[in-house]
Chains A and B, each alone.
Chain A
Amino acid sequence: MREITESAIQAVSSKALTLRQDIIRMLGEAGSGHTGGSLSSADIIACLYFWEMNIDPMQPRSAERDRFVLSKGHAAPLLYAALAERGYFPKSELLRLRKLGSPLQGHPDMRKVAGVDASTGSLGQGVSWAVGMALAAKIDGLDFRVYTLLGDGEIEEGLVWEAVMAAHHYKLDNLVAFLDHNRLQIDGPICEVMSPEPVADKFRAFGWETLSVDGHDHRQIMEALNKARTIAGRPTIIIADTVKGKGCSFMENKVEWHGSAPNKEQTSQALAELGCYE
């Protein structure tokens, strides 16, 4: 259990803002990438990297560390921003996102970036890795925890449900998955493209402890993470209701911002909305 204090919430909230600013800077500079889904998950990632997880940037390969798997690997800018902010590598590196020779690939590569626990990007695979990692902890009797973040479009992949079934079968109570439920995918609203609803019922039917939170409310996310620590014998899914593009008014709930980056003007406008005038 971690203590939920006003100052902790304040700190996480301030980090979430920084992550959003960095995402916009990175994507503006890169000229391509996934803006909407990086912004929608920022509060979840801020809670994990600046409150919940037992990690040490000085020992990025420690066997006892908690693991995080970005199953929705296209939100790589968010992960990189969190790792740099946490001190895994210099923040100046962030502006090399998607450039030739950069460790910051379009999707996360664990062989290139300290702190990246899994190479992901092909949807559905990350949650399967997370199950394997949680199994490894059980086999070795280690008490590290494994976290993963899924997109709500991602769960249309069949592999997700193979992994979800296995996590329950193997009683992986050291595994916590977040669902970034922003309701949009590349081709449109998830309910129009291929509805995965009702998502909570599905996870419940697969035997998971199923919690729902406002994905931009840090206290609720923290409370759910603490609740997950009390669950024995099964994994936990935290379904986070989110807004795609959260924090930039002209991006919010707009499907066009799934896979596009802001131009110069849009970058300035977005940063201004996030409290930065550059």
Chain B
Amino acid sequence: MEKQATRDAYGKALVELGRKYADVVVLDADLSKSTKTADFAKVFPARFINAGIAEQNLMGMAAGLAAAGKVAYASSFAIFATGRAFEIVRNSLAYASLNVKICATHAGITVGEDGGSHQSVEDISLMRSVPNMCVVVPADGMSTAKAVEAIYHRAGPVYLRLGRPAVPNLYDENMHFNIGRGIELRPGSDVTLIGCGIMVAKCLEASEILAREGIEAAVVDMHTIKPIDRELIVRQARETGAILTAEEHTVLGGLGSAVCEVVCSECPVPVERMGIMDLFGQSGTPDELLAYYGLTVDRIVANTRLLLQKKSRII
């Protein structure tokens, strides 16, 4: 299976976006080579603004540019874009509902060797809690490219969460990316695996192993965490009676929480939330870390089996 990092897809898509729309400006905070906004800077130097190592001013300047009619794409690592600059994101971008697209890379533990200080495990939760903010977590390169254009057309602030390592390509160019509409990648009747970001490919792989055991697991790419696709969650809860969520993020306040909020009020069924269990990350290779924190295909398979036992006890 071919692979591409979502940040690489972002860099390329930004250049295309810049060609199509003259009002696109891009900002970065001294990480343009890592976030890949350097691709845009090279082609459109007059529309690229480096804030230097100053994430608060990165967001503040993006607010001013957006207030003056620009569509501003502001990039840094997820930890700084959402953490260091949180209150500016909240009060300048979201409160004023400005057209700033926060496109943060190096989200989650797959940052790897840089360690826990640089591994954002709470950014989805932070961004989801802010009124007016839309939160998008694409699963592969193609959906990232489509998302970069889709968020341009959505008025108001958006948080786009991107990763560092290469991830398997799941989609071809015919895919449709609709903000707020999850994608059912595989039908199934016994259980639904709902993933976002890098966990979607792992859910798909797990579903194939489960199928060999006679377990039909539906798989959903829930690329938009907010607004969440309530309709799809309720339908899957009704049809399969059990849901497993998987995210490279703390289990507090992210995808799993968003799914539970819908399920518990509209169609209560057992939900197993996989993610990082209220812990900080640490140094290691991405694969070592995913194994250490339990974000593997094997663990999805094992947790699904346990979830189905729970489901049978309830029924």
Contacts and interface: CB of A to CB of B under 8 A. Distances in A.
Which 9 A-B residue pairings sit nearest by Cβ, starting from the closest?
A132-B64, A128-B60, A136-B68, A162-B57, A129-B64, A132-B61, A162-B54, A119-B96, A133-B64
Nearest to B55: A162
* Majority secondary structure of chain A interface residues (helix, strand, loop or mixed): helix
B86 to A, nearest CB: 11
Q: Name the residue among A111, A117, A128, A134 with the largest chain B CB count within 10 angstroms.
A: A128
Contacts of B60: 124-125, 127-129, 131-132, 159, 162-163
Contacts of A124: 56, 60
Interface residues of B, number: 29
5 contacts: A118-B63, A132-B72, A135-B65, A137-B68, A166-B52
B92 to A, nearest CB: 5
B87 interface: yes
Interface in A126-163: 127-137, 139, 158-159, 162-163
Contacts, number: 107
Interface of A: 63, 67, 69, 109-111, 117-119, 121-122, 124-125, 127-137, 139, 158-159, 162-163, 165-166, 169-170
Nearest to B64: A132
A163 B57 contact: yes
Given A118-B96, A159-B56, A165-B54, A128 B69 contact: no
A245 B40 CA distance: 50
Contacts of B59: 128
B54 A133 contact: no
Interface string B58-86: 01111111111110100000000000000
B87 A122 contact: yes
Contacts of B311: none
Contacts of B62: 132
Contact of B91 (A69, A110, A121, A166): A121
A128 B92 contact: yes
Given A67-B68, A133-B67, A139-B47, A128 B56 contact: yes
Nearest to B53: A162
Contacts of B72: 132
Nearest to A141: B46
